[in-house]
Amino acid sequence: MAEKTHSSLWDTNVTRRQVLKTGAAGGLAVLAAACVPGATQTGQPVDAPAVVSKKTTLTMGIGGDVPGMNVLERAVAPATSVYYAMWDTGMEAQFNADGSRKGLKPMLITDYRVLDDQTTWEFKLREGITFNNGEPWDADAAAWNIEYRLTGETTRTSFRSLLISKYEGVEVVDKHTINVKTNIPFAFTPLIMMYLQVAPPAYYQDVGLEGYGENPVGLGPYKFVEWRKGQHIVLERNPDYWGEQATIDELIFKPFSEDATRVAALQAEEIDMAYNVPPDDAQRLTDAGLEISWIAIGQAMNLTMKTGSNPGHPLESPINDKLVRQAMNYALDKDSLVNDIMGGFAAPLDGQIVGPSCYGYNPDLEAYPYDPDKAIELLAEAGYPDGFTMDFDSAQGRYSKQKEVSEWMVGEYAKVGINLEMQLFEWSAFIDKVYSDQSAPVFYTGRNWYPTMDPENTLKMYECSERRAQVCDDELETMLFAQRAEFDPAKRETILHDIHTYLYDYCPVVYLFEAPDIFGHSTKVKNFVPTPDNRVHLIGMTVEES
């Protein structure tokens, strides 16, 4: 029968005209069917849920698709923008009005202390709160979440990465207390709990990894409503939230991988707020009657130098000489960089790899002044009176004005005789080179201290044993180990000040600026205060009805 149909089609029973007409009509029909409002590939309504009158909605344009809603498996930007609304963390950072660090805010964890053995951390959990499905948040739930992350085969979160090499185990002490054991005294342990976002164990085990990713249940100010892949994620206010209630009823996150489209969507009033606005667009948005809010976040943009003190790096290289590294710090006008290239949306680093929002920031240090003559002098003293040539790697697509900053540095260094031969990569190719230690001797990158606002993770790269250590220096390492094992905050802060002073002289990097978080939003959005921890704090924010 099939053969007969086949032959009738291809022989003369059907005319060419009939086939062409049928084909054209079929094409139109398919297109029309696909375009009918409300029809999608899954046959469900595609529009964002209708806004009921008086319900306030905040529509936010984020930097790309959120690949899944399983917070236990992976939590990277831009997904974290959504995750923070749905999942509280163990603790979170608090800031003063000027963005400087104020301390920690207890969230799911209310208190902690280290026991006498210095390797057991006791955590008190918030009592009387539940996940959105009613499961209790208690010691069993906390222990299960920690254990899942540390022993699971598929999970790849920062929580795991930071703790795994020191993790010994977790035990339930009583209904609201757990102990986390580490294999060395590790003062940073409580701060890792700032990455702890949790799933209800019984529900998770019931629906499984994939099921949870599609229908997540959280513990936070907002509840999951809908995830339409590649189109939007909708959350609604959680009326049973344990803490201060959010004011905005509904959140819609829309992905825009192109900055220009995200900015245009804001101008066209399709979204109320845009993340990651390029500095060049800020003025245009302000002129169009929109508002720009920005803050310097916990991310130090720097020119990283792979010094020969690390056994894996070349022994013959100009940057092995401290004088050369200092010269490279003198050779750049950081103010010009911040104002002319970054459009004023950045804060110069004060000669250290962290800013004032970070614990242990040394207020006594100042940025290397712009002094090209001094740079030339130092280069000559180091044996490079005619300068030198060196490979330089950079990328585009990740940081604000990444390519422009890199090109600016090449131009500025040429003025003092340092010829950087730049290779510009796509971001993941670049990061692969950096992570596998195959990059050029100098490369442009950022180093984060958010969300913990603590330098432990930032300074780790200066330890010999780290897989991407740029520096290997005995004196520095002794101080780094000492701060890690120091449980007295005041004493630890003093050691950190010393470390930054040492690094100011050592110059493992060229200190550039603290990266900005720039948001564009409509005037309807009120009480939005950006913070240096690279997250949007939704509690207290309002959207006025237009």
Partner 1 sequence: MRDYIVKRVLRSFLVLFGLSLGVFALLSISGDPATIMLPPEAPMSEVISLRKALGFDEPVYIQYLKFLSRALRGEFGNSWQYGLPAINLVLEFFPATFQLALAALLFALVVGIPLGVVSAIREGSIIDALGLSLGVVGRAMPSFWLGIMLILVFAVNLKVLPTSGKGELRHLVLPAITLSTAFLAQIVLLVRSGMLDVLREDYIRTAQAKGLQPYTINMRHAFRNTLIPVVTMVGLTFGRLLGGSVITESVFSWPGVGRLAVQAVSARDFPLVQASVVVFALWIVLANLIVDLLYAFLDPRIRYG
Give the binding site for partner 1 (CB under 8 A). Answer: 10, 16, 19-20, 27-28, 30-31, 34-37, 40-42, 46-47, 64-65, 67-68, 70, 73-74, 76, 153-154, 156-158, 160-162, 164-165, 209-210, 213-214, 228-232, 254-258, 260-261, 264-265, 267-268, 270, 397, 426-429, 431-433, 435-436, 457, 460, 467
Strand pairing category for 347-348 and 388-396: unpaired
Q: Which amino acid belongs to residue 161?
A: S
**What's the closest the beta carbon of residue 254 comes to partner 1, in angstroms?**
7
**DSSP state letter for 122:** E
**What's the closest the beta carbon of residue 459 comes to partner 1, in angstroms?**
11
Q: Can you tell me the distance from the alpha carbon of 463 to that of 391, in angstroms, rounded to the nearest whole number?
A: 24
Buried (b) or exposed (e) across 332-361, using 16+ Cβ within 10 A? bbbeebbeebbbebbbbbbbbbbbbbbbbb
Enumerate long-range contacts of 146-150, CB under 8 Å, 24 or more apart. Answer: 146/170, 146/178, 146/180, 146/196, 148/72, 148/204, 149/72
**What's the closest the beta carbon of residue 448 comes to partner 1, in angstroms?**
8
Phi, psi of 68 (to 5 degrees): 105, 155
**What's the closest the beta carbon of residue 9 comes to partner 1, in angstroms?**
9
**DSSP state letter for 202:** H
Give 211 or 344: the residue with its C-beta nearer to partner 1: 211
On the 0-12 / 13-18 / 19+ scale of CB atoms within 10 A, 159 is buried
**What's the closest the beta carbon of residue 258 comes to partner 1, in angstroms?**
5
Tally of CB atoms within 10 A around 120: 17
What count of residues does the chain have? 546
Q: Can you tell me the distance from the alpha carbon of 233 to that of 196, in angstroms, rounded to the nearest whole number?
A: 22
Q: Can you tell me the distance from the alpha carbon of 66 to that of 60, in angstroms, rounded to the nearest whole number?
A: 13
**What's the closest the beta carbon of residue 382 comes to partner 1, in angstroms?**
31
Give 40 or 419: the residue with its C-beta nearer to partner 1: 40
Give 14 or 115: the residue with its C-beta nearer to partner 1: 14
Bridge partners, 79 (sequence order): none
**What's the closest the beta carbon of residue 156 comes to partner 1, in angstroms?**
6
On the 0-12 / 13-18 / 19+ scale of CB atoms within 10 A, 300 is buried
Give 70 or 357: the residue with its C-beta nearer to partner 1: 70
**What's the closest the beta carbon of residue 442 comes to partner 1, in angstroms?**
18
- Helix intervals (H) in 36-138: 79-86
Bridge partners, 251 (sequence order): 58, 235
Give 9 or 414: the residue with its C-beta nearer to partner 1: 9
Bridge partners, 542 (sequence order): 526
Give 240 or 426: the residue with its C-beta nearer to partner 1: 426
Give 84 or 241: the residue with its C-beta nearer to partner 1: 84
**What's the closest the beta carbon of residue 267 comes to partner 1, in angstroms?**
5
Q: Can you tell me the distance from the alpha carbon of 87 to that of 105, in angstroms, rounded to the nearest whole number?
A: 15
**What's the closest the beta carbon of residue 40 comes to partner 1, in angstroms?**
8
Give 113 or 467: the residue with its C-beta nearer to partner 1: 467
Q: Can you tell me the distance from the alpha carbon of 360 to that of 246, in angstroms, rounded to the nearest whole number?
A: 33
The angle at the Cα of 305, spanning 508 to 462, to the nearest 5 degrees, equals 45
Give 157 or 320: the residue with its C-beta nearer to partner 1: 157
Give 411 or 435: the residue with its C-beta nearer to partner 1: 435
CB 378 within 8 A of CB 334: no
**What's the closest the beta carbon of residue 525 comes to partner 1, in angstroms?**
19
Give 216 or 348: the residue with its C-beta nearer to partner 1: 216
